């Protein structure tokens, strides 16, 4: 097998493994939510539309180009492919994108409420608050644009009345971000019943995020 082909097989496998892990951890239910990974500058591997994650195989993962048009795969690409591609185009360093309908993130998304930086781990990875994008119908270019606006320079955003999307420099980081945002949303909702969480300062969040981006990420991978 050629080196490029092996790379594509590995990326497709990683998308399958991550989707099934998200499903197992109850961050995704049924066939809702979607996962993608960058193959190279202009192509991405995306979960198929309407396919249960339990029976997903690497061949089901659809390869799309930078216009979101299917190039290879047995199925239709995810209905949120436009959103995934828009994130890769805005953030050249993005290596993976995860969109879920996890419970506490959705709780804030239905309230159309931003999640302030209240807990250090999430704040340092996301880079600040998780803001809620203005409502748009699923799968539309309008939704993709609203999400880009809510993201700003950060790594996660809520989608009003819908869910949450996160990106990472690799799949491991995108997965960790999805888990951290769900945890922070749960803490925020729980703290609301006990008088409300106190926010971290903007300056402290900036310092922690800078350290995370420049050093901690490398230390997690044994590169520093």
Q: Which stretch binds Zn ion (CB under 5 A): 37-45, 156-164, 168-176, 203-211?
A: 156-164
Kindly tell me which of 127 and 163 has the beta carbon lying closer to Zn ion: 163
Q: 80, 173, 179, 182: which one is catalytic? A: 80
Contacts of 103 (CB under 8 A, 6+ apart): 26, 182, 186
CB of 80 to Zn ion, least distance (A): 6
Work out how close the CB of 208 gets to Zn ion at its nearest, in angstroms, rounded to a whole number. 30
Complex with Zn ion: residue 117 or 163, whichever CB lies closer: 163
Q: Which is nearer to Zn ion, 48 or 163 (by Cβ)? A: 163
- Burial label, 196 (beta-carbon count in 10 A; 0-12, 13-18, 19+): exposed
User: Per-residue string for binding with Zn ion, 113-152, x by CB under 5 A?
Assistant: ----------------------------------------
Q: Is 128 left (phi over 0), alpha (psi -120 to 50) or beta?
A: left
Residue 34 beta carbon to Zn ion: minimum distance, rounded to whole angstroms: 7
**How many other CB atoms are found less than 10 A from the CB of residue 98?**
32
80 is catalytic: yes
Binding mask 159-178 for Zn ion (x = CB under 5 A): ----x---------------
CB-closest chain residue to Zn ion: 163
How many chain residues bind Zn ion (CB under 5 A)? Answer: 1
**Nearest CB to Zn ion, comparing residues 37 and 147:** 147
Environment class of 148 (CB within 10 Å of its CB; exposed 0-12, middle 13-18, buried 19+): middle
120 close to 93: Cβ distance less than 8 angstroms: no
Select from 64, 86, 96 the least CA-distant residue to 178.
Answer: 96
Closer to Zn ion by Cβ: residue 40 or 141: 141
Q: Residues 175, 164: contact at Cβ < 8 Å? A: no
Residue whose tokens read 């350290």 = 211
- Judged by DSSP in three states, 34 sits in strand
- Contact of 143 with 137, CB cutoff 8 Å: yes
Residues in the chain, how many?
224
In angstroms, give the least distance from the CB of 29 to Zn ion. Answer: 11
Tell me the closest approach of the beta carbon of residue 79 to Zn ion, in angstroms: 8
- The binding site for Zn ion (CB under 5 A) comprises 163
Q: Catalytic amino acids?
A: 80
């Amino acid at each position: 097998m050629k080196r490029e082909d092996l790379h594509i097989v590995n990326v497709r496998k990683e998308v399958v493994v991550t989707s099934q892990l998200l499903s197992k951890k109850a961050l995704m239910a049924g066939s809702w939510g979607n996962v993608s990974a960058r193959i190279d500058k202009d192509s991405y591997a995306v979960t198929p539309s309407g396919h249960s994650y339990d029976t997903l195989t690497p061949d089901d993962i659809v390869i799309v180009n930078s216009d979101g048009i299917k190039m290879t795969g047995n199925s239709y690409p995810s209905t949120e492919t436009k959103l995934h591609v828009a994130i890769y185009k805005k953030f050249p360093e993005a290596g993976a994108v995860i969109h879920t309908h996890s419970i506490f993130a959705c709780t804030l998304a239905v309230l159309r409420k931003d999640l302030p930086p209240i807990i250090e781990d999430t704040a340092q990875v996301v880079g600040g608050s998780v803001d809620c994008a203005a409502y748009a119908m699923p799968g539309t270019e309008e939704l993709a644009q609203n999400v880009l606006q809510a993201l700003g320079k950060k790594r996660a955003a809520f989608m009003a009345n819908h869910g949450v999307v996160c990106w990472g420099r690799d799949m491991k980081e995108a997965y960790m971000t999805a888990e951290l945002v769900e945890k922070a949303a749960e803490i925020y909702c729980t703290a609301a019943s006990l008088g409300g969480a106190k926010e971290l300062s903007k300056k402290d969040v900036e310092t922690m995020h800078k350290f995370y981006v420049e050093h901690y990420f490398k230390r997690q991978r044994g590169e520093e």
